[in-house]
Every structure is written in structure tokens, then in C-alpha cells.
Structure 1
Amino acid sequence: MRRGAGWMIIVVLWFAGVDVAWAHGAPRAPYEGPWWLAWNWSQPVVVVNLSVLCMLYAAGLCRLWQRSGVGRSVSKKQAGSFAMGMLVLWMALISPIDVYSDELAWMHMIQHMLLLGVVAPLLVMGSPFFVAMWALPLAWRRRYGDWQRWVQLWKPARYLLWQPLMLWCLFGLTMWVWHLPPLYEATLYDDLFHDFQHFTFVLVGCLFWRVLLDPVSRLRLGRGMAVLYLFLTSLHATLLGVFMTLAPKVWYPFYESRAPRWKLSALEDQQIAGLIMWMPACMVYAGVAAVLLWMGLREDEDKKGQRGTAPLDRNCSAGE
């Protein structure tokens, strides 16, 4: 692993403490108030961990910029990506999105898509672990360096954490398994299990996007392979969305008592969730693939332009 690979540990530490005291084994009661007040403040550990992660990143960023200059070791774009990722993560876990995910399957689907397709890539581009480590004492950073060198010598770990085919399979497996009715329904009855689901989404999502977007790793897919990687991933979301949309019966009976409050049948609610998985979610992967392809074409054109103007420049120099 390179130095940027360790951002995963921050995610693990954050989710490890989430909502242990709030695991009831029973679903939350339906929310009755106005939607703009439907903030989930009943999980203080989430708020505390979000705040700690932001403070560690800010402290590490300040120390890095004091040593090397603003925007040098960590660019302003990277810091902005982290800030946006944390904002979306906050919205997904604390805002009305989380409260209404217990009311409507399609709102729950939006929450999942934000974690997998928005939060994960933004966090990867922000290099949170590399930055946050600089907020820690020097002795801790040296221990991490020793641990990292040890991991680099253990080739299976380095291979498994980067191998694109394995990560593609892991990403698809995570998406499919967590939407199987027994597991999906279990998350609605147990807050701790639900938090574990969110943890796996963020962790696997970050692993998936790392081979495409990690700014401090030399191990990144080329443009062509990246486009193929994203296109094949969109097939996961497409197939799952199609099956959910066209299913003749309700997959998640939990919503049969909740969706009618919103003038929807449980099956209609499920169909909307399937369409969200089918269309907008796939557009995320297709959009990133299109940007990468466009960037690759621009680079090729620039190289051709430089080769085409080089003889003319030499002739002009000789003439002078």
C-alpha cells in the first residue's frame, strides 16, 4: 500500500463506535413532525465522530500547510473534496434523508447511493487518513510508518487492497447482498446492524474508487481500463434496479405499513426505489467514465499538437 491507502482506518474507527448504545432490536416509530425538522439527533455518537474526524483533518491540514505552504502537499481541491464528502455524509446520516429512510424505500435507496457514489469518491480524493495522521504526535506517525512498511512487504495484502477485478466483485457483492430482503429488513429493525451496513458501503465504496481517484497513490488504472471498470460497475446497479422495478411483489414487507402514509403502496414505493437505482445511480458511474474518457482524449490531442508544432519551432530557430 502507498501512504494514501490508510484513509480506510479513519473510516473504520469512525463507524466502530457508531450508535452502539442505540441498538434496540425494534424499528423507530414513524415520524410525525414537519419534514424540515426531521433531523436524527438521537444518534449523538455519529455527531461526535463526524466532528472528531473533521477536527483531525483540519489540524493535520494546518500542520501540513505550515510546513510546505498552502496548497502544496495537499491541494485546495483535495481539501474541498473532503469537505464536500463530509457534508454529504452528514446529510445522509443525520438529515431528514435518514429519518425518512425508515418511511420510504426510495428514500432509503437515495441514502445508499449517496454513500456509495458520492461520499466514497469525495473522501478518497481528499486523502483523509494521510492528512489526519499529521494531527497526531510524531511517535504515532512513526509507528504508522513502521506498520505501513511491514504491510508493503506482505504482498497479499497489497494485492487484495488494489486488485481491480477483486474490488469490482466486492463492490457488486456488497450492493447485491445488502439488498436481499432478509438482510435489508434486518437493518430496519436494528440500528447497530444498520450502521454496520453503512460502514460496509463507505469502506467498500472507498476501496472501489481508490483505484480510480486516489491522489497520493501510484497504483491507478489507466483511462481505458477505468472506463471499462466503471461501465461494468454500472451493470450492477442497472440489473438490481431493473429487478426491483419490475418485481411483481413487494421485497420489503416492512414498508407495507409505512408507504401508505405517503399515498403510495409498498410496491409503488419499491418501484421508485428501483428506478433510482436503475437511472440516477448508473449516471454517476457513466458520468465519471465520460469525464475520464474526455480527459484522456484531451491529453492525446495535446500530445499530438506538441509533436506537430515541434518541427516548425526548430525550423524557425534555425532560420533565426
Structure 2
Amino acid sequence: MGRRLSLRALRAAALAIASGAAYGHEVPGLAPHHWWQAWSQEAWLWALWWLPGLLVIAGIARLWRNAGIGAGMSRTQAACFLAGWIALGLSILSPLDAVGEELFWVHMVQHEVVLLVVAPLLVLSRPLGPLVWGLPAAWRPGAAGLARGLGLAWAMRVLTRPATAWWVHALVLWAWHAPVLFQAALRRAWVHDLQHASFLIASLVFWWALFQSHGGRQRQGVAVFYLFTTLLHTSALGALMTFSRQAWYPLYAQTAPAWGFSAVEDQQLGGLIMWVPGGMVFLAAALALFVAWLQGPAPRGATR
């Protein structure tokens, strides 16, 4: 029975993709044949994305110009930052966001991009140093003082403890998929923005805690455990949505049919996206860290 439900969702997805151009009638907020025009109109959100990215890029340019290419951020890290930054912009500013308010499975894709693509890439790039260097020299002491005054360093130390980061990530994920909160995010723009900010912050904290360089083999072993348990609970949430015969989010019943889905089929496809592709990312990261743990520390003098 569960297999039939999953196959129905996949067939509906294929049908919607193949015949998307045929759906020309209006749905609340967005017409399916105009989805590609639905870029964000919120200037503050564009600024919030552009400004930190441009500061990091300016910082990289300044560091590389003064101390040589690779100083402060390697080429690989710079590539990770650019990829993560662009993926973040596409996830929150592109039509993906608007269509996600019409289709749950697209909303799920958006969340998975933030949780599993944007956050690990940004963490691996370690952009804080270049970000500071991107500021005008006269602003840097004030920025450092503001960070201390806001307790950001203390918050980072507390939140990036692996156990704390695991719980924050898990609670944010499960809480926002509770029907009352998820539907509130569909109804109100400020709740929607809070939801996405919560996912981004929780996922950055989670991956930062796992990818920290200090702690050696013990840290790697702990990271493998937390990644594996995260795989289990996110897969469980995805499976619950996939096998459910009832729509958890009735608001999508008003919009999904215009795109070729019933609300339940839309939900099932979203659950599969969280369960299978999402689970594979956690599994791949856990295996990579497990291999690193088995290999042990690099020999002294070896280059990284």
C-alpha cells in the first residue's frame, strides 16, 4: 500500500512536469504558466543577500591582492562560498519561493537546498575572516565591539557544541513541519521569513559543529554519530508524510490542483524528497567523516 502511494506521487509529478504548459488558469497568488516571473519583490531581502556576499568577495579580493591568491581563503573555499551564496539567493529570491507557496514539494525542495546545500557549503568556506576584511578599515573595530556586545562569540561557542547543535537542528525541523506552524508560514509573510531564517541558522550551526577542525578524531566520531541519527529522524519525518493518507497542510488543497496534484500527492512527493535525496546527503557526509576517522590524523608535516 505504501509503495502504491509513493508511485502515485511520482506519476503525478511526471504528469505535472510533462503537461505544465497546459495549466493556464489562475491559482491564488500565482499562475502556473507565469511561475518563472515570480522573483522576490522584497528589496530588503535582496539587500540582506547581496550585502554580506559582496563584503566577503571584497574581502577575498583584498586578501589575495595583498598576500597572494589563497591567503585567508583557499580557491576551493572561495568556490564553496560562491556556490553556497548563489544557491541561497536562488532558494529565497527566485520563483522557487513563490511556487513553494503553491506546492508543498517545491517548498520542500527549497528547504532541502538551504539545509543540505547552502549551509554546508558556507560552513566549509569559512567566510568570517574575508567578511571582516571586506569592511572598511575604520569600521572593523566597531564591528568587533558590536559582535562582543551582542554576545555573538558566546552564542557561537554554546550553539556549536555538537549535542546542542543537534537538538537545535532537530527541534527547528520538526517544529516548523507541525501543521499549525507550517500553515502559519503560508498565511503570514513575517512567519514565512522567520521559518526560513530559522532553517538557515539552525543548519549553519549544525554543520559548523560537525565540521570544526579542532577536536581531532573524537570530534569526527561524534560527528558521524550525529549525522547518522539526523538521517534517521529526518527520514522518519519524510516517511510519515509519504505514507500519510491525509493532507497535513490543507491550504495546499486550494493551490496544488492547478498544478496537477492533489494535496495528498503533493505531500507524498515532498516527503519522498526529504526522505530519499535528503537522507542520501546525510549518509554521504557521515561516510566521508567515517573514512576520515578511520584514516586517523594526517602525518606531521603533511600538506592539506
Name the residue aligned to 1:218.
Answer: 214
SS in 1 for 2:134: coil
Structure (1 or 2) with the larger CA radius of gyration: 1
Match of 2:31 in 1: 31
Q: Which residue of 1 aligns with 2:227?
A: 230
Mapped pair 1:263 → 2:260 = yes
In the alignment, the residues of structure 1 paired with residue 157 and residue 211 of structure 2 have an alpha-carbon distance, to the nearest angstrom, of: 18
Give distance in 1, aligned partners of 2:94 and 2:44. 15
Where does residue 177 of structure 2 map in the other structure?
179
- Which residue in 2 is equivalent to 1:72? 71
Alpha-carbon spacing, 1:149–1:104, altered in 2? closer, same or farther (3 Å): closer
Q: How far is the alpha carbon of 1:45 from its aligned partner?
A: 2.4
Name the % identity: 36
Once the two structures are superposed, residues 250-287 of structure 1 have per-residue CA deviations (whole angstroms, 9 ceiling, x without a partner) of 11000111111122211111111111111111111101
Structure 2 gap segments, 5+ residues each: 1-26
Q: What does 1:1-320 correspond to in 2, within 5 Å? A: 29-35=29-35, 37-145=36-144, 157=155, 159-214=157-212, 218=214, 222-299=219-296
1:212 to 1:248, Cα distance in 2 relative to 1, 3 A: same
CA distance in 2, matches of 1:144, 1:48: 19
Conservation of the 8 A alpha-carbon contact between 1:211 and 1:219: no
Letter in 2 for 1:97: L
* Distance change >3 Å, CA 199–CA 189, structure 1 → 2: same
TM-aligned CA distance change 1:238 to 1:271, over 3 Å = same
Question: What TM-score do you get using the length of structure 2 for normalisation?
Answer: 0.81
Q: CA offset at residue 43 of structure 1?
A: 2.2
Seen in structure 2, the aligned counterparts of structure 1 residues 299 and 209 have a Cα distance that, compared at 3 Å, is same
Contact kept? 1:31, 1:99, Cα under 8 Å? no
Count of paired positions:
273
Q: Give secondary structure in 2 for the equivalent of 1:134.
A: helix
CA–CA distance in structure 1, aligned partners of residues 56 and 90 of structure 2: 19
1:94–1:162: structure 2 CA closer, same or farther, 3 Å change rule? closer
In 1: Cα distance, 2:170 partner to 2:28 partner: 29
Cα separation, 2, equivalents of 1:44 and 1:147:
25
CA RMSD of aligned residues (A): 2.6
Q: 1:270 to 1:151 in 2, by over 3 A?
A: closer
Q: Is the 8 A contact 2:162 2:223 kept in 1?
A: no
**How far did residue 247 of structure 1 move?**
2.0
TM-score under structure 1 normalisation?
0.77
AA at the equivalent of 1:103: E
